[in-house]
Amino acid sequence: MRPIWWQLLAKRLGAWAVVGAVGGACAPALGGDVCSTATPVGVGTLTAVLSDNFASGVVDSCGFGNTVDEWYTFIPVTDGELRVSTCHPGTQFDTVLSVFDACPADGGVEIACNDDALTAPLSCELGGLNRFSSVGVGVSAGVPYFIRVSVYADNFGCDVCTGTSYEISFDLIIGPGNDECAGAQGVATGATPGSLLDNTGLTDDDDSCAINNSIDEWFSYTPGSNGPAMVTTCSPGTTFDTVLSVFDGCSGAEIGCNDDATGIVPPECALPSGAVRKSVVEFMAQRNATYYIRVSAFNNAVGGGEFELIVDGPEVFCDCDWNFDGFLNNTDFFDFVNDYFDGAGPMGQADYNADGFQNAQDFFDYINCFFNPPAGC
């Protein structure tokens, strides 16, 4: 039995089993040809050779013809995000990474898969091309997870491949408070930096325009006026393929969702590769309503992990400009009166004070604003 200090070290490093030497890289992996003999690993980095392996017969969702593989198992000691990557100098071929909640032969389900970390830094490049893999998945303490490493198309002799060895790292990340909507970080108009590198991906959040994007951060925005609003990650500070979604509450309806910006977009919407992979969501905002913004990574490929969220919304307190044409005049007054008696309006009804009800108080509040407009109207 291993001494107590070894067991304590294993827990400190984030897994029950620690492979390799203290303070250095893990030793080359042994076994692991099939999931049932997966090599136990802890937080750290190891180097191994895949060419002496045979096909396990497992198929994943993001590779092609990648039957030659190696298996690892990781058991976290705390809830968090398991981050696995082959983006290291010791990797010599085009890798594919997938994570399962149990061995496939035992009914295990794939919970994450990545072929090329398209949004990753230079460390993920092989011969100038993104060919290494990076994946993150939310994990629970004491639950085993099974990681499969394979070679794309079983081709060790690809144009940029240099050998059959690979270097793989395992990290356990404990996320910030805004990993969940309930802890959303409040933002105003302008730019807010963020990072998914310390995110857990634990919450089973979902949106309508992407899949497998559980690694996320939440923000909240409360506009000071009615009008059009926009949130975007189109900034040089964003380093990965983002997904943006906006909700009217933590358990509310999705107002908008975008994976990749479309149409005529500024160059800031593109990654260094030139591919447009950043996101834009536009919506009509209502004064004093709180909107919840979710930033996530497409296919959980966080790459560099850093992003910049830009919010542009109606902050000028000119609610009397009822038709949003930028001018306060008689047309706004008649448009409001018409909406008030029709029970409709730009926000669905003439609920001017945004208290959830349309009544006489809305009428008096609007009249007060119209005849005593605040600065900026």
CATH of residue 258's domain is: 2.60.120.380
Specify the pLDDT at position 237: 92
What is the reported pLDDT for 79? 84
Which of 287, 312, 337 is a domain's end point? Answer: 312
133-141: average pLDDT: 85
Statement: residue 12 has pLDDT above 60: no
pLDDT tops 90 at residue 261: yes
| 341, pLDDT greater than 70 | yes
From 312, 345, 366, the end of a domain falls on 312
Same domain, 164 and 204: no
Tell me: do 206 and 59 sit in the same domain.
Answer: no
Structure tokens at 369: 């604003």
Residue 1 buriedness (CB in 10 A; 0-12 / 13-18 / 19+): exposed
Measured from the Cβ of residue 371, the count of other Cβ atoms closer than 10 Å reads: 9
Lowest mean pLDDT among 14-18, 59-63, 66-70, 141-145: 14-18
Give the integer Cα–Cα distance in Å for 232 and 117: 22
Residues 280, 331 within the same domain? no
Same domain, 164 and 43: yes
Between 266 and 127, name the one with better pLDDT: 266
Q: Are residues 207 and 66 in the same domain?
A: no
Mean pLDDT of the residues in the chain: 81
Nearest to 221 by CA among 244, 198, 196, 195: 244
Residue 68's nearest CA partner among 95, 39, 92, 29 is: 95
Q: Residue 327: what residue type?
A: F
Rg (CA), the chain: 26
- Domain final residue pick, 152, 173, 194: 173
Which ranges constitute the DSSP H helices of the chain?
A: 4-13, 330-342, 360-371
- Whole-angstrom distance, CA of residue 88 vs CA of residue 90: 5
pLDDT at 7 over 70: no
Q: Looking at 231-235, 257-261, 311-315, which range is the least confident one?
A: 311-315
- Band of the pLDDT at 317, cuts 50, 70, 90? low
Reported as a single tens digit per residue, the pLDDT across 217-247 is 999 999 877 778 999 999 999 999 999 999 9
Residues 71 and 109 in one domain: yes
Confidence band (pLDDT; 50, 70, 90) for 1?
very low
Q: How confident is the model at residue 11 (pLDDT cuts 50, 70, 90)?
A: very low
CA distance 123 to 114: 16
36 with 156, same domain? Answer: yes
Shared domain for 59 and 165, answered yes or no, is: yes
Q: Domain range holding 375? A: 316-377
Q: How many domains does the chain have?
A: 3
144 and 19 inside one domain: yes
236 in the same domain as 210: yes
Of 78-82, 256-260, 306-310, minimum mean pLDDT range: 78-82
Q: Give, in order, the Cα–Cα distances in Å from 235 to each of 69, 123, 134, 311.
A: 38, 22, 22, 12
Which pLDDT does position 122 carry in this prediction? 54
Give 343's pLDDT tier (boundaries 50, 70, 90): low
| Residues 35, 158 within the same domain | yes
Same domain, 92 and 17: yes
